[in-house]
Amino acid sequence: MARDRPLFSLFLVLNFMVTAFSTLKFSRDDFPPDFIFGSGTSAYQVEGAAFQDGRTPSIWDTFTHAGNVHGDTGDIACDEYHKYKEDVKLMVDTGLDAYRFSISWSRIIPDGRGPVNPKGLAYYNNLINELINHGIQPHVTLFHIDLPQVLEDEYGGWVSRRIVRDFTEYADVCFGEFGDRVLYWTTVNEGNVIALGGYDSGIIPPQRCSPPFGLNLCTKGNSSTEPYIVGHHILLAHASVVRLYKKKYQAKQQGFVGINVFAYWLVPLTNMTEDIVATEIAQRFFLGWFVDALVFGDYPDIVKKRAGTRIPAFTKQESKQVKGSFDFIGINHYNTLSIKNNPEKLKMDHRDFNADVGVDTIFMQGDSLPQQLPPRAWALQAVLEYFKQFYGNPPIYIHENGQQTPHNASLDDLGRVKYLQEYIGSVLDAVRNGSNARGYFTWSFLDVLELLDGFRSSYGLYYVDLDDPDLKRYPKLSAYWYSGFLKGRNITPDGAIDSKKNKIALSSDQYIQ
């Protein structure tokens, strides 16, 4: 079994980083013909209409309404709920193959389980039809943080195993109603971040954590145990939904189902062996926790050893169900962390996940605002290479990758143009070296409500004027660049100049200098 391979494999993975080159001159014809390019959003971040047509609050509404993101909320967001036709037109103008969005569970099933809301179904049917009629593939995520608040209140949401049944029933509704047109389904977005952010540090909904871990904001939770319990339930719920899809829908609908994980790239802070080994261990925790379970049917040995009884064990039957329960794996990649071994953390009496990893993590420069620094595109290539070498090269969709800038930054977002160019080039390098990557979605299509930063910072190809009651969208330079790339123009190292030329090609009346 390839699980917990000898640590020296790390050297294989790390060696090429130094020599990795970034392809800068390429066109989309250099990618395999069926490689798809798109862009994404998620329900709560873009839809608005939060209290309209029967939708009930999710834990994300609760989080924003408690003032956690500078008072910003998704009550209106980008109002895609009412402006989806306009947005699909922008997608067509841009030349996207695919749009990645998520379904709001509490819009479809306002009580979390039971009766289905016809107005909720109607909205997604309209959006899906609009996309299909314009030749854009819908790639749909079932769960993007926004658990119906009613299930959180009733039994603690993901902390309870009861979530498996309710999530499966919700998925059943979505497959049954939309699966004749939606061929790409992702069960859960960033399961590892949900478990850590929501239940260890408590910085994201539902804000559970316990002292001395996490923020002092939490009123309940247990940072030592809940991240592992929640991770376990996410994997079981995912596997249950995949089993349902394969049994009841896949033969007829001919679609694909997968899950999404957040993937850091990690590099040792120094060349000392202890940091190199610690880096490999950290990747067993951050990524292997979920991906080992999905690929091999169990958690990494080092994770089980350090978490002890705090991590639930898979029964034989569960292990069988989780193992191989995907047609693809989606990855969200933004950051690279430097890893320094810190054995002191393992000596703590009570540990959380982060203490179990036994390292200090340092965000590499350039991963937080301002991001005018050069992107580290090779890190995405390295992540893809890691999936290839460690996990037998499963089909991968890069579901999120993008650059954060202040919301009010210039529409001439040359930095984002360079970012896209380098990261897409790095995906091309990985594909050329045998990676099974099948598609790339840049985050985000519009300037959406960001999880931690509200509307202060943005990743969008399209700026949304929040002061305009009509929330008008304006293409940034990056939208022109991406469009030029998607429409087959050669992309040179001077991407900006190409983008400017390409302005003529987009319906440029909306462009403001």
Ligand X SMILES: *[C@@H]1O[C@H](CO)[C@@H](O)[C@H](O)[C@H]1NC(C)=O
In sequence order, what are the beta bridge partners of 98? 38, 137
Stretch that binds ligand X, among 175-183, 218-226, 228-236, 254-262 (CB under 6 A): 218-226
Helices (H) and strands (E) in the chain, counts: 20, 15
Known catalytic residue: 80?
no
Among 18, 133, 252, 349, binds ligand X (CB under 6 A): 18
> Which backbone phi and psi does 320 adopt, to 5 degrees?
-65, -35
Contacts of 167 (CB under 8 A, 6+ apart): 142, 143, 237, 240, 241
Of 133 and 513, the one with the shorter C-beta distance to ligand X is 513
Known catalytic residue: 190?
yes
Binding letters toward ligand X, positions 385-404, x by CB under 6 A: x---x---------------
What is the pairing mode between strands 336-341 and 396-400?
A: unpaired
**Rounded to a whole number, what is the largest CA-CA distance in the chain?**
63
Positions 286 through 315 that interact with ligand X (CB under 6 A): none
Note whether 222 binds ligand X by CB under 6 A: yes
Total binding residues for ligand X by CB under 6 A? Answer: 16
Stretch that binds ligand X, among 22-30, 221-229, 247-255, 367-375 (CB under 6 A): 221-229
Coil, helix or strand at residue 195: helix
Positions 449 through 508 that interact with ligand X (CB under 6 A): none
Q: How far is the CB of 293 from ligand X (least distance, A)?
A: 21
Q: How far is the CB of 9 from ligand X (least distance, A)?
A: 10
Of 45 and 210, the one with the shorter C-beta distance to ligand X is 210
Integer-rounded Cα Rg, in Å, for the chain is 22
Q: How far is the CB of 17 from ligand X (least distance, A)?
A: 8
Among 271, 315, 317, 513, binds ligand X (CB under 6 A): 271
Among 10, 20, 396, 398, binds ligand X (CB under 6 A): 20
Return the structure tokens found at 364. Answer: 């590499």
Amino acid at 129: N
- Match 């001395």 to its residue by tokens: 212
Of 212 and 488, the one with the shorter C-beta distance to ligand X is 212
- Match 């995912």 to its residue by tokens: 238
Q: How far is the CB of 391 from ligand X (least distance, A)?
A: 12
What is the pairing mode between strands 328-332 and 256-262?
A: parallel
Note whether 360 binds ligand X by CB under 6 A: no
Q: How far is the CB of 270 from ligand X (least distance, A)?
A: 5
Q: How far is the CB of 364 from ligand X (least distance, A)?
A: 11
Note whether 372 binds ligand X by CB under 6 A: no
Note whether 209 binds ligand X by CB under 6 A: no
Note whether 406 binds ligand X by CB under 6 A: yes
End-to-end CA distance of the chain: 57
Amino acid at 111: D
Burial class (CB in 10 A: 0-12, 13-18, 19+), 368: exposed
Of 424 and 506, the one with the shorter C-beta distance to ligand X is 424
Catalytic residue (choose from 47, 152, 190, 318): 190
Among 408, 490, 507, 508, binds ligand X (CB under 6 A): 408
Q: Where are the alpha helices (DSSP H) in 309-460?
A: 316-322, 353-357, 378-391, 414-432
Catalytic residue (choose from 80, 280, 385, 400): 400
| CB atoms closer than 10 angstroms to residue 410 | 13
| Nearest CA among 299, 300, 285, 174 for reference residue 235 | 299
Of 392 and 434, the one with the shorter C-beta distance to ligand X is 434
| Nearest CA among 26, 100, 17 for reference residue 490 | 26
Residue numbers annotated as active site: 190, 400
Residues in the site for ligand X, rule: CB under 6 A? 12, 16, 18, 20, 210, 222, 224-225, 270-271, 385, 389, 406, 408, 433-434
